[in-house]
Structure formats: C-alpha cells, structure tokens
Structure 1
C-alpha cells in the first residue's frame, strides 16, 4: 500500500470502466465496474487516493478531471503494465495489473498534460499525418509514371521539376481519363502543402506566445517543431529528476544486457516519444553537418566517434539542455559549463 493513501487501478474504456483496489479496513479485494457517466461521481465521493491508469486514448482527459477532484493520478506506459497482467487478459486483470504497476518505484509515469499542451501535440500529429499522406501521393505518382517510361528524379524537387514535362509527353499515348486523374493527384499534393504550411503557421503563432518554447529555441538544432513538441510533450519539467532522466525517457541512452556482473552495451533504447526523439536526432544531425563554427565538444566528439553515434550523443545533450532551461527557468548561454553543486 502507498503509505496510508488508498491505491486504485483503473482500466478505462469507451463505455465501461473497471476499478481494482484493496479495502484498507477489511482487506477485501474490490473489483468494480462503472459506467462512463458514473465514473467521476464515484471518485467525487471518495477520500483522496492514488489512481493509476494506462496512458491510452482519453487518459489525459480523465487524469485532469481526477486531479481537479483532489486525487493523485499516475499515467503508466502500457509496456510497463503488461508484465503484471498474467496469463489471461480481461478488464479485471488489466485493472489489477495497473494497481500493481502503479506501486512499483521503477515505473516512470507519463506526464499529465494541460489541454493547451495537448492541443499543440494534436497539431503536430495532424501535420505528421499530412506529411505521410503527401509522401504516399508522390510515391504513388512516381510509380505510376514509371510504368509508362517516365522516370522521375529522386526527391521532391525532382518530381516537381519534371512532372509537367512528363505528363505533356504522355498526352498522345495515354487516355485522357488517366492523365486527368494524374493531374488531380499532383494538384492534391499542392493542397497538402498548403495544409501543412497552415498548421506550421499556427504552431509559429503559439511558439511566439509561449516563453518556454522561445527559450529552448535558442539551442542550436532546436527549431520551431522541436521546441513546441518538447514543451508540450514534457508537461511539468520538474516531474523529471534530471536532464539525464528526461533523455532516458526519450530513449536517447544505451540499452544494455548482461548477467553475472558482465554488462554489454547495445544501441539506444528507443523508448518513449518516437516523434520528439526523431526531431532531436534530425536537429543534431543538422548541427553537425551544417554548423560553421562547431563547439569544441562537438568537434572532439565527431573525431572520436562514428557519425551516427556522435549525432545521438549530441541529441542526448540537447535533451538535457532543454530540461535544464525549462526546469530552472534559465536562458540559453553558448559555451556554458555546468558546475557540480
């Protein structure tokens, strides 16, 4: 039991929620189903307790509502709950597994985000989805044209430059219905470009109003997308004990395996937010490739380590710097050297 505080495991769903806890007075194991409409009413009439939930769809909303009622809420990654489920999966087994997992000290909870932070992340998700659609449209066009001998150069610039000429050469060979459809698909790529640009404009407007986002955008390699995604994904920076813990949460630290005292280091763990980790790695790669005056640390790193190892190491350092600036509310200083307390 978590001190004298009641611990409740909650498996949320669309309509029916499953609760699991142990009665502190009788020791009775309680397994209760609640309709969605009765969920908040149940906790409004309970003493303050620790509530564990999986970080799945809708969890952020319910976490905010439960926090407003005065309860403590922890959102757990599904991967950390799964080992406690056991053999047979059911709503009751899931709620029991969440109840067990939320009391484990080694399980790192997911930050509860505000509605504004979730709104920014929603913009990022929609932008990412549009970029995927655009890539699929371009690849589809490239493949269809290749069937008729019109091979486009690689990259977006290549197809942009060559598609008009390619379609013009095929006018006498292909039916008009196909040519019109190909032109419509290419026009759809332009429409997606406009939608992506509009989302980026809205992110830029939010970025200009948010002090934390502007602060970390001063870090080399951290641009509009990385800054806004980092502030929104992190939630409360003080929920992490250190920059190292934040970098580990993003999967930017080595995975390891071993037994009998022999430890073997592997590649990065790739745990946590894939989107933000990708942005940081791309930003680090840009700094190493394009910086006209790299710092001494970066120069020594690239001389001693392979290119990809250096990129991930710099991304790790960027993540630590982001945490330090946000947690301590400091401005970025080039060449700053931290001192032990």
Structure 2
C-alpha cells in the first residue's frame, strides 16, 4: 500500500467517511467509521495531513487530531462544493475535500481553541436572548393594540406598563391583564439573563490583553471587542488588513468583465454578526464625529460631505476592521494620529 499523505473526512453526527490519497493524488482507501473508530484509527496512523470542512464539531476534532501529531486543516464548505464529481454522496464529499485541499491557492480556516469556542457560544446565547426579548416586547405592544391601547416605541415602556394597565383596568379583560403581566415578568427574566451573559463577557475581556487593546479603537465597545478577539484569533491567518475586511464582507462586490471594472455594494460575505456590529460601531462614532479632531474624524467628515451616510458607515466599518487587524497582528496599541496641517 502506498504511503498516505492526505486524508479527507466528511463529518457527520455518528458516521464519518474517510478518503485517503498518496502524494500523487491516487486513492489509497475509503472507509466508513464511527467517531470512536476514527479517533482510534487515526491515533495509530502515521502522521499526515487531515482535512475537513469547517462545520459543527470540526474544531474539536481538529484539536484532537492535532494532539496526535497530524497536520489538521479546515476548509469552508463553499470552497469544497465545486470539486464534487458526479452525484453527491458522503465518499464523493470526502474526495472533494482532498481535491480542494490539494489546490495551492486554497484558503483554510484556523481551528479555534476551547476558549474561543466558549466565548462564541456565549455570544450566540446572548443574541438568542436579545431576539426573544424583542419578540416579547412586540407581543405586549400587539396584544394591547388589539384593545385600542397604543404604546410608545422602545423597551422603556415595560417600566411604565403597570401604570398603563392600572389606567385601563376597566377596559381590559382580567385574563389579558394576567397574560400581559406574565409577559412582563418574562421580559424581566430575559433582561437579567442578558446582563449576566454580558458580565461574563466583560470579565473575560478584562483578563484578555488583546481585548483591552481593541477597546482603545474609537467606537469599539465590549461586545464588539470580544467578538473581534474571538473571530480574528491569530490575526496573521490573514495576509493583510484588506483580506480580513474582505472576509467580513465590507469590501465592494465586483462584476468586472472585458477589462471594464464594475464595483457594486459591499459583498456581505463572512460573519454577518461581526459585520453588523462593526457597522453599528461606525454609526455610533459618526454621531459624535464633530467632536473628534484627529485624522479619523477629519476623514469621516470629509466623506460625509461627498457620500451618503450609509456608504460612509460601511467605509468607516471597513477602516475599523483594518485597524483591529493591525493592532492584533502587530501587537500594538491604537495610535490617535492628528491631521497634517496644510503648508
């Protein structure tokens, strides 16, 4: 049997399909194994390169196989799909992973650490709680509107809700009042859970030097700094700042042909949550931009005189993403540059 140099694994919940190749790209073997069988088999296998799609469970398996001496690589599923030959099946997917990993220009995903995965889970839980809290507020508004009671926008009305219910007590059925009170209690519970998760994230940020340096960037708050520190990881996995901004989807989408360049809106690729947070940070910075006298403030004010505020917000978010990459990649602090006076 030829020496195996590359193994592609199509991941599943219980079954894993392996496709092994030698250095010339010829198939050596194909196997369908369980999780425990795969770990036992690869634990006794000579060190080689193991490639998987970056999906659920991939980061944990990559850490385990890396500890066994294998070189583990993760590929985004969208880059594997074009290499599937013929009909789609699990072994064909494993072979396509090997084919994609053999391309010299292929881009890989850096496996996350346990800490990064835990923080990412905290952020996902917080997002789910915020969505549920917003849904609860909308339900309260909708139920009262059905009985002719219109409330002002915003979550602050929850504090005045008992007074509103007391004022219209004679107009509302007792069961509806009880239901509204139940929703109000649920809102308070969700609000408390969100605060606890944010406290955990803030505590983690205090213990992380990288997160503290990200907080020095204008407009960047604790939540965005925590997400950036987690998503960027080792910033040197991106060749430069523009590559990171492109991975978040904050660069123009191209549709160029015949030598004629055509630039459209932002590509919206990558992590939409991180992109949304960066744009929100940019909008918060723009609200106080008149008070900034540094080069960043001067650049933003000049952009606002020429372009729409939405375009400026995306451009400023792009700049914030590049600054964050430079700080983490070079291990430096944010430097507030003053504008150069005209000679």
Asked if TM exceeds 0.5, the reply is yes
Q: Give the match for residue 143 of structure 1.
A: 142
For structure 2, the residue ranges without an aligned partner over 5 or more in a row are: none
Tell me if the contact between 1:112 and 1:235 (Cα under 8 Å) persists in the aligned partners: no
Moved more, 297-306 or 161-170: 161-170
**Residue 268 (structure 1) aligned to one of 256, 266, 269:** 266
Tell me if the contact between 1:281 and 1:315 (Cα under 8 Å) persists in the aligned partners: yes
Matches for 1:107-126 after TM superposition, within 5 Å? 107-126=106-125
CA RMSD in angstroms, aligned pairs only: 2.0
Following superposition, the deviation at residue 299 of structure 1 comes to 1.8
Q: Give the match for residue 325 of structure 2.
A: 323
Following superposition, the deviation at residue 161 of structure 1 comes to 5.3
Moved more, 208-217 or 30-39: 30-39
Following superposition, the deviation at residue 104 of structure 1 comes to 2.7
Q: Give the match for residue 259 of structure 1.
A: 257
Q: Give the match for residue 278 of structure 1.
A: 276
Tell me if the contact between 1:150 and 1:166 (Cα under 8 Å) persists in the aligned partners: no
Tell me if the contact between 1:111 and 1:234 (Cα under 8 Å) persists in the aligned partners: no
Q: Give the match for residue 230 of structure 2.
A: 232
SS at match of 1:304: coil
**Residue 300 (structure 1) aligned to one of 299, 302, 305:** 302
Tell me if the contact between 1:152 and 1:162 (Cα under 8 Å) persists in the aligned partners: no
- Paired residues, number: 333
* Distance in 2, Cα, partners of 1:52 & 1:305: 45
* Distance in 1, Cα, partners of 2:141 & 2:176: 14
Following superposition, the deviation at residue 25 of structure 1 comes to 7.9
* Distance in 2, Cα, partners of 1:229 & 1:25: 41
Moved more, 7-16 or 208-217: 7-16
Specify which structure has the bigger relative contact order, considering alpha-carbon pairs within 8 angstroms and separated by 6 or more residues.
Answer: 1
Moved more, 316-325 or 98-107: 98-107
Following superposition, the deviation at residue 336 of structure 1 comes to 7.6
SS at match of 1:144: helix
**Residue 174 (structure 1) aligned to one of 172, 175, 178:** 172
Following superposition, the deviation at residue 247 of structure 1 comes to 0.8
Matches for 1:172-211 after TM superposition, within 5 Å? 172-211=170-209
* Distance in 2, Cα, partners of 1:267 & 1:50: 38
Following superposition, the deviation at residue 105 of structure 1 comes to 3.7
Moved more, 22-31 or 177-186: 22-31
Following superposition, the deviation at residue 152 of structure 1 comes to 1.2
* Distance in 2, Cα, partners of 1:175 & 1:132: 28
TM-score (norm 1): 0.92
Runs of at least 4 residues of structure 1 off by over 4 A? none
For structure 1, the residue ranges without an aligned partner over 5 or more in a row are: none
* Distance in 2, Cα, partners of 1:170 & 1:45: 73
* Distance in 1, Cα, partners of 2:62 & 2:25: 28
